[in-house]
Amino acid sequence: MDWGEPILRWFHFLAGIMWIGLLYYFNFVNADAVKEANAAGEGAPIGKYIMPRALFYFRWAALVTWIMGMGLLSTFQAAPNGANAVLASFTLQGAYAPIGIGAWLGTIMFINVWTFIWMNQKKILGIVPATDEEKVKARRVAFLASRVNTLLSIPMLWFMATGFHHAGTLYTH
């Protein structure tokens, strides 16, 4: 038995659960809790101890999920026209279209994490110097990118699950 595909799949799912779980935590729990804690003058420990650690796991889980996903795509059989399976997925060819849509959405989300969310969170948390005006702008950009990722996660999860389920003949065994 070839263990490559099951190992890639396991780490893809495990990291994906961590990534999307933290995404939902940030959007459905943390955002309002931080507002309340700041209003009560108790928000500093969240920014000092919780957010840096949670963002560490968030961004690295995004990277591992994406890398393992690309690895999984590479385990697909070549497309009928001889095209590489990864290329066929990203160009949405035939049976590769559902998994390709999920991969595109995941790629956009991954880029959002490492560019818009993380780069702005570093300013918000004081990891990099920023003026108060820059921090206000950074909060808005990080917030919007995070909400976009939350919205994209719903179809991404659906297409990824649909693509894996219906693309059984695409895997090499």
The domain in which residue 49 lies consists of 4-166
Stated pTM of the model = 0.88
Q: Name the 3-class secondary structure at 88.
A: helix
**CB-based contact 79:96 (threshold 8 Å):** yes
**CB-based contact 96:84 (threshold 8 Å):** no
Query: How many domains, the chain?
Result: 1
With respect to residue 55, please indicate whether it lies within any of the assigned structural domains: yes
Question: What would the pLDDT profile of 18-62 be if each residue is shown by its tens digit?
Answer: 999 999 999 999 999 999 999 999 988 998 999 999 999 999 999
With respect to residue 171, please indicate whether it lies within any of the assigned structural domains: no
With respect to residue 173, please indicate whether it lies within any of the assigned structural domains: no
If one counts every other C-beta atom within 10 angstroms of the C-beta of residue 112, the result is: 20
Question: What would the pLDDT profile of 154-170 be if each residue is shown by its tens digit?
Answer: 999 998 777 655 454 45
Tell me the C-alpha distance between 173 and 167, whole Å.
Answer: 13
Please state the rounded mean pLDDT for residues 91-101.
88
Q: Name the 3-class secondary structure at 173.
A: coil
